[in-house]
Amino acid sequence: MFTSHLVNLSTSVPYEEAILHPFLRDAANLALPHDRLAFWLAQDRIYAAQAYPRFIALLITKIPLDSTDPSVQGLSRRTLQVLVGCLDNIVREVNFFEDTARKYDLDIGGVRQGEGQVWLERKATRDYTAEMARIASLGTLEEGLVFLWAMEKLYLDAWSNVSSALRTKPESELGVTGEALRDLSYSWSNANPDFSNFVQGIGTLVDEYWAPLFQEVSDDRASRHVEAILRAERIWARVVELEAEFWPQLKEEEKMRIS
């Protein structure tokens, strides 16, 4: 499968740096400061509330829903169903962010400057959302789907590690930050079948688009699809890099608070 090929690629930023970042290790070890979790959650909400819906909407406009080819029609309709599911999911996600913040007193403030914003937006957040906009605007539907799956796959693997570690901790050791991390990590981990199936569904769609091209290239290195495969591999590598950069650094929250 093409998705397996991507996961096994050697990238300039190793996959492990994105899913085993010090932020995540601190989360798994109950060593993450409460404010650093709030700072990260505020950044992730910018991504979820602003960039992700625009990204998905642009991909939807690229689906050839007017095709008269029955095989294209079927794939197009499945693609639309998956992307509409992404929009439904992100609405729940943003609500979940805000409910969790209220429940555990995580000060994430407003999303926009001038509307109760507590944290400055990180450069890594801007870089990530800018790349999402670039791929969705200038890339093909197939490339956008690779980007989408890569984001969700990395998120799943990163938080599955945290969730697995936290399930071994006694309830008495968690504290408020640990309880928040337990809820957040479960939602985005393999322990949550809804999210795991969601990511798998996107991966299946990516394979449906890309596996025939990848097989042709594997059989014939002179195939006209070589450049397309290379672009998809570069997209995967770029998302790994962006994910690794998205996790806050040690004590970064101390200089990024607005109020």
Cα–Cα distance measured from residue 211 to residue 190, given in angstroms and rounded to the nearest whole number: 25
Domain count, the chain: 1
Domain of 133, CATH number, reads 1.20.910.10
Query: So what's the pLDDT on residue 72?
Result: 77
Query: So what's the pLDDT on residue 213?
Result: 78
Query: So what's the pLDDT on residue 83?
Result: 98
Cα–Cα distance measured from residue 7 to residue 220, given in angstroms and rounded to the nearest whole number: 22
Per DSSP, the residues of 107-129 read ----SSTTSS--BPPPHHHHHHH
Please state the pTM of the whole predicted model. Answer: 0.94
What is Dmax (Cα atoms) for the chain? 61
What is the span of the domain harbouring residue 59?
A: 2-256
Tens of each residue's pLDDT in the chain, 259 residues: 899 999 999 999 999 999 999 999 999 999 999 999 999 999 999 999 999 999 999 999 999 988 788 777 899 999 999 999 999 999 999 999 999 999 999 999 865 555 678 899 999 999 999 999 999 999 999 999 999 999 999 999 999 999 999 999 999 999 999 999 999 999 999 999 999 999 999 999 999 998 887 787 776 676 778 889 899 999 999 999 999 999 999 999 999 999 6
- Torsion angle of alpha carbons 163, 12, 10, 208, nearest 10°? 70
Query: So what's the pLDDT on residue 229?
Result: 86
Query: So what's the pLDDT on residue 244?
Result: 98
Collapse the DSSP code of 214 into the 3-class scheme (helix H, G, I; strand E, B; otherwise coil) and give the result. Answer: helix
Is residue 211 classed exposed, middle or buried when 0-12, 13-18 and 19+ CB atoms within 10 A define those classes? Answer: middle
Cα–Cα distance measured from residue 203 to residue 52, given in angstroms and rounded to the nearest whole number: 18
